[in-house]
Structure 1
Amino acid sequence: MAEPDSTDRHERRARAASSARLRGALDAIGTGAYVVDEQGRILAVNTCAERMLGRSAAELVGHDAHELLHRGPQGQPLSTTRCGMRPSLHAGLPAQHHDDHFARADGTLLHISWLITPYALDDGATGTLVVFHTPEQAPPADPDTQRTTEPLSELERLALLAETTTRLTATLDVEEALRRLVALVVPRLADWVVVDLITERDEVWRTAVVEADGDSLVHHEELQGPMPPIPEESLMPLSRALRGAASTLTGPETYQRDPDSGIAVEQRRLFDATGIHSAAIAPIRSTREVLGALTLGRARTTGHFTGADLSLLEDIARRAGLALDNARLYQRQRKVAETMQNHLLPQMPRVAGLQMTVRYLPAPDASQVGGDWYDAFALSERATALVIGDVVGHDLEAAAGMAQLRNMLRAYAWSQKEPPSRIVERLDEAIMPITDVTMATLIFGRVIEGEDGRWELAWTNAGHPPPLLVTRDGLARYLTEDHGLLLGTGVRQSRPDARTELPPGSTLVLYTDGLIEVPGRTLDDGLDRLRQHAAALAHRPLESFTDLLLHRVHPPGHDDVALLAVRTPHP
């Protein structure tokens, strides 16, 4: 449900959630790190950076990082032209430097090495990740890890892990999380990436086989699909990873021996088809179970994967496992909520002379299923009740509250032969003592056919977006008469009633606020957009009118939408 400042409140909550995700990702880094926006203002810092700089997050976030932190060797402020970080930051390019200085809160200097890299933010903008440490903290080079391909530095490794955490936890869609995982590891770490997932029915599915071809990613669907069962005793690398037993470095020679299982046969086919000469395989685990396995392969790149590479892959797979598990749990809960709400929403009655159609659209990402609902039911031979409502919240509790309100309203409307305003007053009086609903908006109306065949709407509005009436000639207006308070405020006052004629062939549209709320736009903008498109579609059959209206107006991914459209008969 939306109150007048609901869009601003939604944006504030989104910013807070984004900042919390950034903070969580940065805290996974073992050294100082912060993220800045395109202007160089600090968006989030980790605990290690707070400790190293002697400043709290509140003292850092929102400030220009260059002005606050960057200093010369003697502690003097640096102009932007002398800053080694600034040009690369504004150009959106990775860079690193091993001899620089940051100012601590107590005025002392911190001698640092830093690395910066572009960083995708939740809102689609690009920021910059800054990772820094004191040079004496830098780990010594391990001669055993030298190879033909250029290894990642420790800072690059930490930056990649931070980006992995943030990008994967920023979505609750499994397919999108897998796309992001693939884009993170190829071509940066390998020529090929293979993802095998264990389904909820304990089947293995080769979900992704992707090759890096220059800057492009090529999906090889012919190598994807169902896999044989996981063998219990197999010592082959992929089998062990899918059991959660171990990470392994391997190559095609491992699978040239007699296969011990169907999975081994599929692995031989993979190596033959891709030309991979070196592979690293790690289990994808959640805190509860093994979800699958992640494989990196080199075909065109020279050199073999090393133990250091395997350690990095394990860290990436661990983060992927947590993100995928969260996405699966979310989708499972969402399916339960959608099923519950779809069962709670009623079937429309058949009313002679009236056409009625309804739609319910859950938001795919921005919120869980909530308290949006519609209802229609016969009151007498010539009167039909229409309801559109929205209970505060986006969860199963809101959906349950919606069911309570709907059933109570039906009982009052059927048993009390009173104006709509009095029915809603009774409902408002009952909310606090006998329901779990905190606040809600709704429109309750009666469509009445007169003796002369004319149709009339009598209604009361409790804090809900106004009904839209569209004539068959495309004249559209909002029914804004006598708007009352939303339910659950505790204020006891008389509610107004309103009446209007419904011309022949006209369409009445009742809807919830998810149809008109667009981030960054005002409610008036959303109302104007809805009115304009409804007028343009007035000549369409009602089913087509409804579907096209939702397609043109509904902001994708923002909020749930319930819609009820009623059309009177043509003369």
Structure 2
Amino acid sequence: MDELFDAAGSLRSAYARVDWAATSLGPVPGWSRTLRAAVDITLHTRFPVTLFWGQEFVMLYNEAYVDLIGKKHPAALGAPAAQVFPEIWDEIGPMLASVRTTQRATWTRNMRLLMDRHGYPEECFFTFSYSAVLGAGGQVEGVVDIASETTEQVLSQRRLILLAELTDALGELDEPDQILDRTVTVLRRDPHDLPDVDVLLPRAAGRSSPVVPSALFDAGDVVVDDSAGIAVVWVRLPDASGTADDAVLVAQLSQHLPVDESYVRFVRLVGAAVTQALHRAQTRQAERRVASLERELSEKLQRSLLTPPAQREGLEVAVRYRPATERARLGGDWYDSFLQPDGSLALVIGDVAGHDRQAAATMAQIRNLLRGVAYGTRESPAAVLADLDTAMSGLRVDAFATAILARVTQDEPQNQPGRHLLVWANAGHLPPVLVAPDGTAGLLQAPPEILLGMDSGGVVRRDHRVTLAPGSTVVLYTDGLIERRGSLLDEGLAHLVGALTDRHGMTAEQVCDHLLDRFPASGDDDVALVVLRVLPAPAEASPIARTRARNGADSHR
């Protein structure tokens, strides 16, 4: 045997069995120096290389190339390429002819070919280059193919892209039916890996689709069935309840791919993505139900405490409570309005720190404590809040809260009827807004004082006073009205003052509605409002009006 083939390794015997004299290349000793040099280089490299030689493109290749052509070896050795690759000759034949004609190399990246190398047309991908091999006279004697199979990389990338698209498509869906419908829609976009896809729904869901027998899954949650000649995979999609009536993903597998471990693992990942989406949807639904129940309980508790405001002659009092819109955000905001035995009107606005059921329960405790401490005493609001601090400490009400307690009494000097005196104390709460009878608005600022519950002794709380002329309006509110994420508190206060400027003609009820419209719910916090309006003094009738009234009365005599 010619020593040329000594470097063929495991292919040496295959080279020896070829009757080269019967091929268009002729006996080995008669091969051209160019062919012998090309074969020598091919057999000495460990990268997949093949030679297509002569007019028939007779094939010679090294050990590494065998893996690329599978069962076509050893018959391919010494055979014309068109005979070896009839199924892909329409793709590669013109490329080889072009190199022989133009002497220009080709470059192909991840080319898809349906190659029959294991007894069926298998989907394969290759990156390769065809280059001309020139003889001594400059003519093309053959073509060298340096190739790399990229099937595994291409399939992995293709499947990862599909899994990412599926995960994105299911991420925001909360209804199981929508998830299953979207799953089928997305998976049908990949006819190469999953030529046909459907979801079988359980009869328990009231569907007419057949249910896959549970015995089919004795071996696990993914089963491949090729008994009918076509591989079909069944994937159980268990719901969070763990019942036997689960949906099942059924998919036909490609006839052009081996049903290997990576293929089954891909289908399993598809099933896991859908199952995760179903569980996530069920969790969200359960969370919404729990949040709804918590919100309903909290609102009932709060509304049971937030009673209609007390009223006094010459005054209007309006209140509002708006719960936060964010799920499971329970609040500690409250308002109160009650008459004291001496006839004065008490107004309260407060906010317990926190947004949960505990905050709502603590709010109820503090609200009732404040009512009890304040009712029946002639002490000033500052003294009442100091007593409340002591009561909270003694009764172990372990919480912090901001609050304003105000007392409204008549203050009518001679010739100035309808005036009232507002005395208030502020425990760390936002300042009230006063709207004067001429429409100007401003904050009733006072030096800041500590919150309720921060110190039970040694705290000096102070009263603040302002005279309210007829037509004045005072607005008490909680921070949820004006605070917004990303905005400064001073900006919110300025917007509030602006919203109340020139609103002196509104009733107390209208002011409440105006503020809730002007400051939409942020979803972060509850809102409580107390609006006090001193009714304008009755306008004295003009001389013309009195004359018309007198004439009208005379005409009826």
Match of 1:315 in 2: 276
Match of 2:505 in 1: 539
> Quick check: 1:378 aligned with 2:339?
yes
Q: Partner letter of residue 499 of structure 1?
A: R
Distance 1:460 1:567 in 2: 19
Match of 2:163 in 1: 157
Return the offset for 1:473.
Answer: 2.7
Match of 1:387 in 2: 348
Larger Rg: 2
After TM superposition, list the pairs within 5 Å mapping 1:145-184 onto structure 2.
Answer: 153-154=159-160, 156-157=162-163, 160-161=166-167, 164=170, 167=172
Match of 2:491 in 1: 525
Match of 1:502 in 2: 468
Match of 1:8 in 2: none
Match of 1:488 among 425, 446, 453: 453
Tell me: CA distance 1:246–1:406, structure 2 relative to 1, closer, same or farther (3 Å): farther
Match of 1:240 in 2: 204
Distance 1:505 1:407 in 2: 32
> Quick check: 1:340 aligned with 2:301?
yes
Instruction: Report the TM-score when normalising by structure 2.
Output: 0.53
> Quick check: 1:356 aligned with 2:317?
yes
After TM superposition, list the pairs within 5 Å mapping 1:450-489 onto structure 2.
Answer: 450-451=411-412, 452-489=417-454
Q: Partner letter of residue 361 of structure 1?
A: R
SS, match of residue 355 in structure 1: strand
Q: Partner letter of residue 493 of structure 1?
A: V
Match of 1:397 in 2: 358
| Native 8 Å contact 1:357 1:565 kept in 2 | yes
Distance 2:181 2:316 in 1: 49
Tell me: CA distance 1:289–1:365, structure 2 relative to 1, closer, same or farther (3 Å): farther
SS, match of residue 566 in structure 1: strand
Tell me: CA distance 1:481–1:515, structure 2 relative to 1, closer, same or farther (3 Å): same
Match of 1:69 in 2: none
Match of 2:531 in 1: 565
Tell me: CA distance 1:541–1:347, structure 2 relative to 1, closer, same or farther (3 Å): closer
Post-superposition Cα deviations, 1:384-427, rounded to whole Å, max 9, x if no partner, equal: 00000011111111111111111111111113221111110010
| Native 8 Å contact 2:235 2:249 kept in 1 | yes
After TM superposition, list the pairs within 5 Å mapping 1:405-416 onto structure 2.
Answer: 405-416=366-377
| Native 8 Å contact 1:247 1:281 kept in 2 | no
SS, match of residue 369 in structure 1: coil
Return the offset for 1:297.
Answer: 13
Return the offset for 1:447.
Answer: 0.9
Return the offset for 1:428.
Answer: 0.8
Tell me: CA distance 1:140–1:186, structure 2 relative to 1, closer, same or farther (3 Å): closer
Q: Partner letter of residue 364 of structure 1?
A: T
Return the offset for 1:561.
Answer: 0.7
Q: Partner letter of residue 337 of structure 2?
A: A
| Native 8 Å contact 2:471 2:533 kept in 1 | yes
Return the offset for 1:382.
Answer: 3.6
Q: Percent identity?
A: 34
Return the offset for 1:554.
Answer: 3.8
Return the offset for 1:508.
Answer: 0.8
Distance 2:337 2:509 in 1: 17
Distance 1:288 1:515 in 2: 45
SS, match of residue 501 in structure 2: helix
Post-superposition Cα deviations, 1:463-494, rounded to whole Å, max 9, x if no partner, equal: 00001111243200111124321111126221
| Native 8 Å contact 2:201 2:248 kept in 1 | no
Tell me: CA distance 1:286–1:338, structure 2 relative to 1, closer, same or farther (3 Å): farther
Distance 1:533 1:178 in 2: 46
Post-superposition Cα deviations, 1:438-468, rounded to whole Å, max 9, x if no partner, equal: 2111000101123543111000000000011
| Native 8 Å contact 2:249 2:271 kept in 1 | no
Match of 1:447 in 2: 408
Tell me: CA distance 1:288–1:325, structure 2 relative to 1, closer, same or farther (3 Å): farther
SS, match of residue 415 in structure 1: coil
Tell me: CA distance 1:434–1:293, structure 2 relative to 1, closer, same or farther (3 Å): farther
Distance 1:476 1:399 in 2: 32
Match of 2:216 in 1: none
| Native 8 Å contact 1:482 1:496 kept in 2 | no
Match of 2:478 in 1: 512
Post-superposition Cα deviations, 1:247-273, rounded to whole Å, max 9, x if no partner, equal: 779xxxxxxxxxxxxxxxxxxxxxxxx
Distance 1:352 1:281 in 2: 75
Tell me: CA distance 1:322–1:366, structure 2 relative to 1, closer, same or farther (3 Å): closer
Match of 2:394 among 413, 433, 441: 433
| Native 8 Å contact 2:408 2:422 kept in 1 | yes
Return the offset for 1:161.
Answer: 3.4
SS, match of residue 352 in structure 1: coil
SS, match of residue 483 in structure 1: coil
Return the offset for 1:376.
Answer: 0.5
SS, match of residue 375 in structure 2: helix
Return the offset for 1:362.
Answer: 1.0
Tell me: CA distance 1:162–1:404, structure 2 relative to 1, closer, same or farther (3 Å): same
Distance 1:449 1:540 in 2: 22
Distance 1:516 1:416 in 2: 34
SS, match of residue 329 in structure 1: helix
Unaligned 5+ residue runs, structure 2?
1-109, 111-149, 190-199, 214-233, 252-265, 538-557
Tell me: CA distance 1:242–1:375, structure 2 relative to 1, closer, same or farther (3 Å): farther
Return the offset for 1:288.
Answer: 8.7
Instruction: Report the TM-score when normalising by structure 1.
Output: 0.52
Post-superposition Cα deviations, 1:171-196, rounded to whole Å, max 9, x if no partner, equal: xxx7xx899969976964579xxxxx
After TM superposition, list the pairs within 5 Å mapping 1:10-159 onto structure 2.
Answer: 153-154=159-160, 156-157=162-163
Distance 2:357 2:406 in 1: 27
Q: Partner letter of residue 440 of structure 1?
A: A
Distance 2:201 2:159 in 1: 28
> Quick check: 1:329 aligned with 2:295?
no
